[in-house]
A and B are shown apart, each in its own frame.
Chain A
Amino acid sequence: MLDSVFALAQGFSVALEPTKLLFALIGVFLGTAVGVLPGIGPALTVALLLPVTFKLDPTGSLIMFAGIYYGGMYGGSTTSILINTPGESASMITALEGNKMAKAGRGGPALATSAVGSFVAGLIATIGLALFAPWLVEIAIQFGPADYFALMIVAFVTVSATFGDSPLRGLTSLFIGLMLGLVGIDALSGQARLTFGVPELLDGVEVTTLAVGLFAVGEALFVASRMKHAPETIEPVRGSLWMTREDWKRSWKPWLRGTALGFPIGSLPAGGAEIPTFLSYTIEKRLTKHPEEFGKGAIEGVAGPEAANNASAAGTLMPLLTLGLPTSATAAILLAGFQQYGLNPGPLLFAERPDLVWGLIASLFIANAMLVILNLPLIGLWVRLLAIPQPWLYAGILVFAAMGTIAANPSPVELVMLAVFGLLGFVMRRYDYPIAPMVVGLILGPMAETQLRRALQISLGDPMALIESPLAATLLAIAALALVAPLLFRGLSRFKADED
């Protein structure tokens, strides 16, 4: 462990050279600039900008890469908060409370808690990565399909936190999402389902297209429909731009809890970044002292998921660096970046090229810090976006939504889907259906289905396999408890109310 600290110091000495700092700055700037396009998350940002880094030496390139990565992530959260347009699935939850805050003039604190929370989470998770990677990864690979399935069930049970006021409407939305999740080639049998002969549908519905359609396009249509008789007022700034004492007090615990969820789940080979953000949102909603603010702009609902998202990003580096397993789109591109220099991440990388591994980890720290330094002063500028007259602002959002979708997936079918989801989002808003559960359904449905069927295929159809692993059994017990407990408590309180 002492070796690790020494090696990290060595990494810093490389990453702190003035020219390297310049690369980091350029990376952060480019990443943020491209990342604010709706539908373009960090993975695509990195992929688009990776060629820019090819001309540099490996260390310089990795440093710039880290900057682009974090910049892209931050850019995605910025659009989530300001214009209700998640750049990727993992920042969808941020939009729920973040955008409400922005509309109430609290965009500044929302962006700040997101930036500082990401920094804190990134810092802790990167330390975790540096110290425990080889040890944690042994546990991570013990996760089998049955355990993943149990984890998905836990996530499903907690989805209700995103339902809003009516469980029936929430479930309706969730089931539409689950149905959309069935579209495409069935991963296990290779057969096409619900594709109606359209080849673009074979890979299923793109999560970002659904999210951008429902959130951004749906909202633009909704605002336009009410422009004449009941215009919504947006207050660009109310009170302080910066986080108040109260904001800090309400943010720090969610940051830590988000990190505690994001890092371990992110480091699981099939964990992903979405589930920790869902779980974090649920937990914050349960634990908050201000439950009345949830759904109207609670800062905890931004702080927790944003920290979870960032911590999981550092988590995905763990299987990549120690096993050579790319477990997210971004990690896959990072792997390609490594190979560009003839490096193969895997069990031998730490031993063969410690300078690079630690250089990368050090540059993650630096990129993270640079992002906070660069972006906090810019928050004032960002929130000015909301001062743009609404017709212009929403027209701009529509243009950017379409551009982002086309950049990610150049096909007319994708644009048609965006428009259809936009209309659907409008109708759902008009009739008060929550839209988040639908996106959750699209994300979790296929994951849960694949893991369940995989588990059963390996056990030759024996359902006992689902509870044989102690981990799966524990997780399922947690899920059952989470499902039953609120009903019990509600029953009890009603009972009490009767007594009074």
Chain B
Amino acid sequence: MFHSYKMVTGAVAALLVAAGLSTGALGQSLELKIMAPAAPGGGWDQTARAMQAALTESGAVKSAQVVNVPGAGGTVGLAQFVNAKGDGSQLMVNGFVMVGAILTNKAPVTLAQTTPIARLTAENQAIVVPANSPIKNAKDLAEALKADPAKVTWAGGSAGGTDHIMVGLFAKAVGVDPTKINYVPFSGGGEALAAILGGKVTAGVSGYGEFEGQIKAGKLRLIGIAAEKPVPGLDAPTLKDQGIDLAIVNWRSVVAPPGLDEAQTKTLLAAIDKMVKSKQWQETLKAKNWDDAYLSGEAFATFLQNEQVRVAEVLQSIGLVK
């Protein structure tokens, strides 16, 4: 029953479009399909579902549906997504991790094949050590790394991901050969955090949010966050303030299929713009501790290109991509 209703409304919507209604009204009748190229529960999935709620509740679109296509840092989903050429009713969530995964997995498709829509959120990356560690600040950590890079073990997410790239950049920034770092990848935040808390590794790298509870409870010591400048309302020193030239954020964004015409792109941009400014979205950001990193259209396209170049350089310098 539900299905037939949807099909009827879908058909009606299609007729309306065919009848050539203005693009302004099109936004409200948009039936969006958002792909989360990851398994349910992760960051991309959560972003997609938060978008789904905010888009429909704010009336930016008529309906939104989330589809999960997990696999290989999102590249499996990306490969499917680029096939939807010219379809203005689809979006895909992606982010920093996908940029790296495309290179390390030698994916046959790239983000250049998509239509960039907007960067939505960002998460500060942090370095922590166990509370009883002799390392007190970024300088101590840098000294230890310079003394013997192999002896400093780092726990973080999967190989070639944001955390790994950040450790490579840290080594580079303090003048240590990035190929010498002893990075131990863990899958999922849970295991890595357990290894840091248990003192099995020297330091840990992840999004600040994953460590926040432990830092407040005094079980982990925050060495610094990799933000460009101090974050208001966050009692956290930046690495830059401690003399280490390293800034990196784990951003998430949304892209559309290739081959959209101008009107289609405009409709999607307008819908996302309405969503970002809605109360629901702002509340979600607050609840999930995501920073608003809204950047849309051309500006986002440029940003995306720069990140691709930067990530490629780092991955080469840590030897993950030849």
Contacts and interface: CB of A to CB of B under 8 A. Distances in A.
Asked if A and B bind, the verdict is: yes
Interface of A: 43-44, 47-48, 50-51, 54, 140-145, 185-190, 192, 199-200, 202-203, 269-270, 319, 323-327, 329, 331-333, 335-336, 339-342, 344-349, 409-411, 454, 457-458, 460
A460 B41 CA distance: 34
B79 A199 contact: yes
Contact of A144 (B49, B80, B104, B195): B195
Contact of A460 (B42, B151, B191, B287): B151
B270 interface: no
B190 A269 contact: yes
Given A202-B76, A203-B72, A269 B194 contact: yes
A347 B79 contact: no
Contacts of A410: 67-69
B286 A342 contact: yes
Interface string B281-300: 00000111100000000000
Interface of B: 39-42, 45-46, 49, 52-53, 67-73, 75-76, 79-80, 104-108, 150-151, 153, 158-160, 164, 182, 184-185, 187-191, 193-195, 197-198, 200-201, 209-210, 212-214, 216-217, 219, 286-289, 320
Nearest to B40: A47
12 contacts: A51-B49, A51-B52, A145-B200, A187-B159, A187-B187, A190-B159, A202-B76, A326-B41, A327-B190, A342-B288, A346-B212, A410-B67
B198 A141 contact: yes
Q: Which 6 residue pairs of A and B lie closest in terms of their CB atoms, listed nearest first?
A: A346-B213, A190-B159, A47-B40, A202-B72, A342-B287, A269-B194
A54 to B, nearest CB: 7
Contacts of A326: 41, 188-190
Contact of B188 (A332, A344, A347): A332
Nearest to B182: A457
A347 B214 CA distance: 7
B76 A199 contact: yes
A190 B75 contact: no
A332 B105 contact: no
Contact of A190 (B107, B160, B195, B286): B160
Nearest to B100: A190
Nearest to B284: A340
B150 A454 contact: no
B70 A323 contact: no
Nearest to A140: B194
A346 B217 contact: yes
Determine which residue in A200, A269, A349 has the highest number of CB atoms from chain B within 10 A of its CB, and name it: A269
A141 B200 CA distance: 10
B214 A323 contact: yes
A270 B217 contact: no
A185 B197 contact: no
Contacts of A140: 194
A324 B68 CA distance: 24
Contacts of A325: 189-191, 193-194
A293 to B, nearest CB: 39
B191 A327 contact: yes
B184 A199 contact: no
Nearest to A459: B153
A323 B158 contact: no
A344 B290 CA distance: 13
Contacts of B52: 51
Contacts of B39: 47, 329
Contacts of A336: 40-41, 45-46
Contacts of A329: 39, 41
A47 B41 contact: yes
Contacts of B46: 336, 339
A145 B256 CA distance: 42
Contacts of B164: 190
A341 B104 CA distance: 36
Contact of B75 (A199, A332, A344, A409): A199
B70 A409 contact: yes
A143 B197 CA distance: 10
Contacts of B160: 190
B225 to A, nearest CB: 17
